[in-house]
Structure 1
Amino acid sequence: MATTSRENQTFKLPDGRVLGFAEYGNPDGVPLLRASRRPRQPLRLPLIALDRPGFGLSTPLPRRRFPDWADDVRAFAKGMHIDRFAVFGLSGGGPYALACARFLPKEMLTGVGLFISGPHWAAGANHMTLIRRLVSVWSIHSPGSLTFVADMFTGAWKWLVSTNFITTRLDKWLDAAKLKEKGAPGGIEDEHVAEWMEDRPTAEKREALINMIVREPYRQGTAATVHEAMLLSAQDWGFKLEDVNYDEIKMWHGVEDKNAPIGMMRWMAERLPHCKLQEFEGETHYTMWKHIDAAFAELVPKDTSKKTTEA
């Protein structure tokens, strides 16, 4: 049911839709599943990055909601003969991980983690920036026009990054970057992305970055992105946080995160029956990456690392 390439694989779901996925890291162990793609190499554990419906290689699912994701993950795990796994919700993948915790049998899950998760807007939209509130209203009341504008924007961005003006500057930056010296001036801060790109020719590094940031997420356009903006900002996620009984939900979040304000995360943690929220002083949505390996290690200890899936 699955193709053989580790990077661009597909799985056919029972309803005929296709689920795109990629595998990273050590193939042995309990898998960690995640609902988005981002190269994370090298890893001591197996990471399976799944494309959400409408993203990457996955077939769109009109009117989908977060609980639908749990059904897809269940079918994927069964078809791939994965008996037990952990789920990792990164940023907007947080609600997807919680849906798995709510609707999948507890015996299937070895752990549930939310890292810089998207917040529940029932905590109060006033916490969010004005632009995010405007996008939320736009996605609800006129998704077609927002998709049109977003498609134009991403099309222009794809064209821009292919121009000589941009590629020349990207190449200079990549050549100057000290990939192995984390934090060095001009270096790449994420050591895993650095190691993943270390031995590649400059042109290949550039294409890999552009594909990861611009092309792959919007392979099918921006309709899924617009729909997800509506899902993430909805007052109702399709389940109540109080009904998520998995023990325990682990959360890691920066106190200075403006994308997902810490007050909203505390509100979520108070309502999840079994939740451990770790707050990181001075950290933002973008500086929290330095803590992701520690989060992986806490979610999947070495003695249980079999296979992990990110949401």
Structure 2
Amino acid sequence: MLKRITVVLLIGLLAWAYQATHPPPPSICGSPGGPPVTAPRVKLRDGRHLAYKEHGVSKEVAKYKIIFIHGFGSTRHDAVITTNVPPEFIEGLGLYIVSFDRPGYGESDPDPKRSVKSLALDIEELADQLGFGSKFYVIGQSMGGQVVWGCLKYIPHRLAGATLLAPVVNYWWQGFPANLSMEAYNKQPPQDQWTLRVSHYIPWLTYWWNTQQWFPASSVISSKPDIFSRQDLEILSKFALRENPHKAQVKQQGEFESIHRDMMIGFGSWEFSPMDLENPFPNNEGSVHLWHGDEDGLVPVTLQRYIAKKLPWIQYHELPGAGHLFPVAIGVSEAILKALLLGQS
């Protein structure tokens, strides 16, 4: 009898463990019972769809064509580079900006094979299907800024210029001095250190770790206020008064294929290190910019400084007193766009 009970308990434990570590299948937009498709979408090489949103002037009259890459826990609606920019500024420069839902977010189909390279190729194909021409600009914020490194690696020949806004850093990238990356890593809240370890070393436990109730999971996912700077909190307080009608779209297809896969890729083992990249514009036919706030509580400024030092062809802009959300501050996005497109510092 005892053996039978033990076997039953073991089977039950294994069944629970399997269910706990295997996320439910995504609820794909447009599928029976899934969220509706409301955005324009392009169909990619493998049959997936990318949802996108257009900003600024029409592409037929545009002088500059830009693809904006949103950050963690966001969608195409969160194109921060346009948030507080006067329409006359965008029209005056002739900007055509397209933001898109990264795979698994919003209304873009999940990509179980998503990688740093595949997303760069998605961006290239999006540009081709929308008629961007041979070259275009990319701007990425936070986790979207990290994606720009993939564009610089895999599609540099398609870029007219690139900007990284507070790009997320992978502490395991080759090239960081061990003491520097460890010091920056240890400044993160203990619960985030554990979340990052899981994402890097045992990614198959990422879903369980971020949904279990025994230990505190990611403070970024829970948006704990102590991870934000004073400037960030001021910005958040202003936006708290505005209702976000698109908030529900972020994870509507499932947490795993959106935010959890983001963490697995962003902090996983990369095929390359950004510090090994070569200048994509050796003849100064374009430029690459990295912007960061020196009070960013989510991404350590010390590591951005080191990357900028290792890559002297990057134009590094450090903003005193700024946190992670600085692109939304009044006047900042205009400066970012002028630096990228007009070479004005």
* Pairwise same-fold verdict (TM > 0.5): yes
Residue 304 (structure 2) aligns with = 265
Q: 2:199 aligns with which of 139, 148, 151?
A: 139
Residue 24 (structure 1) aligned with residue 55 (structure 2): yes
Residue 127 (structure 1) aligns with = 184
Question: How many residue pairs are counted as aligned between the two chains?
Answer: 247
Shift of 1:92: 0.8
Q: 2:148 aligns with which of 93, 97, 101?
A: 97
1: distance between equivalents of 2:44 and 2:271? 23
Stretch of structure 1 that moved more, 279-288 or 14-23: 279-288
2: distance between equivalents of 1:262 and 1:62? 32
Question: Secondary structure of the equivalent of 1:31?
Answer: strand
2: distance between equivalents of 1:137 and 1:241? 22
- Indicate if the aligned counterparts of 2:235 and 2:325 stay in contact, CA closer than 8 A: no
- After TM superposition, list the pairs within 5 Å mapping 1:271-290 onto structure 2: 271-272=310-311, 274-290=313-329
- Indicate if the aligned counterparts of 1:255 and 1:284 stay in contact, CA closer than 8 A: yes
- Indicate if the aligned counterparts of 1:253 and 1:278 stay in contact, CA closer than 8 A: yes
Shift of 1:137: 2.3
Residue 69 (structure 1) aligned with residue 119 (structure 2): yes
1: distance between equivalents of 2:154 and 2:236? 42
Shift of 1:267: 2.0
- Indicate if the aligned counterparts of 1:67 and 1:238 stay in contact, CA closer than 8 A: no
Residue 85 (structure 1) aligned with residue 152 (structure 2): no
Q: Which amino acid aligns with 2:52?
A: F
Shift of 1:270: 2.6
- Indicate if the aligned counterparts of 1:20 and 1:57 stay in contact, CA closer than 8 A: yes
Question: Secondary structure of the equivalent of 1:58?
Answer: coil
Residue 113 (structure 1) aligns with = 163
CA-to-aligned-CA distance 1:177-199 (integer Å, 9 cap, x gap): xxxxxxxx999757xx9xxxxxx
Shift of 1:302: 9.8
Residue 217 (structure 1) aligned with residue 257 (structure 2): no
Q: Which amino acid aligns with 1:215?
A: A
Give the structure-2-normalised TM-score: 0.64
Question: Secondary structure of the equivalent of 2:125?
Answer: helix
- After TM superposition, list the pairs within 5 Å mapping 1:1-311 onto structure 2: 8-27=39-58, 28-36=62-70, 37=76, 38-39=78-79, 40=82, 42=87, 43-44=90-91, 45-83=95-133, 84-106=135-157, 108-121=158-171, 122=173, 123=176, 124-128=181-185, 129=188, 130-140=190-200, 141=202, 142-146=205-209, 148-149=211-212, 189=238, 206=243, 209-211=244-246, 214-223=247-256, 224-236=258-270, 238-247=272-281, 248-272=287-311, 274-290=313-329, 291-301=332-342
- Residues 19 and 149 of structure 1: CA distance in aligned 2, closer, same or farther (over 3 Å): farther
Shift of 1:288: 4.8
Sequence identity, in percent? 22
- Residues 301 and 89 of structure 1: CA distance in aligned 2, closer, same or farther (over 3 Å): same
- Residues 265 and 187 of structure 1: CA distance in aligned 2, closer, same or farther (over 3 Å): closer
- Indicate if the aligned counterparts of 2:64 and 2:136 stay in contact, CA closer than 8 A: yes
- Indicate if the aligned counterparts of 2:116 and 2:150 stay in contact, CA closer than 8 A: yes
Shift of 1:273: 5.3
- Indicate if the aligned counterparts of 2:145 and 2:168 stay in contact, CA closer than 8 A: yes
- Indicate if the aligned counterparts of 2:294 and 2:320 stay in contact, CA closer than 8 A: yes
Q: Which amino acid aligns with 1:226?
A: H
2: distance between equivalents of 1:94 and 1:187? 20
Q: Which amino acid aligns with 2:47?
A: G
Shift of 1:87: 0.3
- Indicate if the aligned counterparts of 1:139 and 1:146 stay in contact, CA closer than 8 A: no
Shift of 1:110: 1.6
Question: Secondary structure of the equivalent of 1:256?
Answer: coil
The RMSD of aligned alpha carbons is: 3.0
- Residues 228 and 126 of structure 1: CA distance in aligned 2, closer, same or farther (over 3 Å): farther
2: distance between equivalents of 1:61 and 1:210? 25
Q: Which amino acid aligns with 2:248?
A: R
Q: Which amino acid aligns with 2:137?
A: A
1: distance between equivalents of 2:144 and 2:335? 19
Q: Which amino acid aligns with 2:193?
A: R
- Residues 188 and 25 of structure 1: CA distance in aligned 2, closer, same or farther (over 3 Å): farther
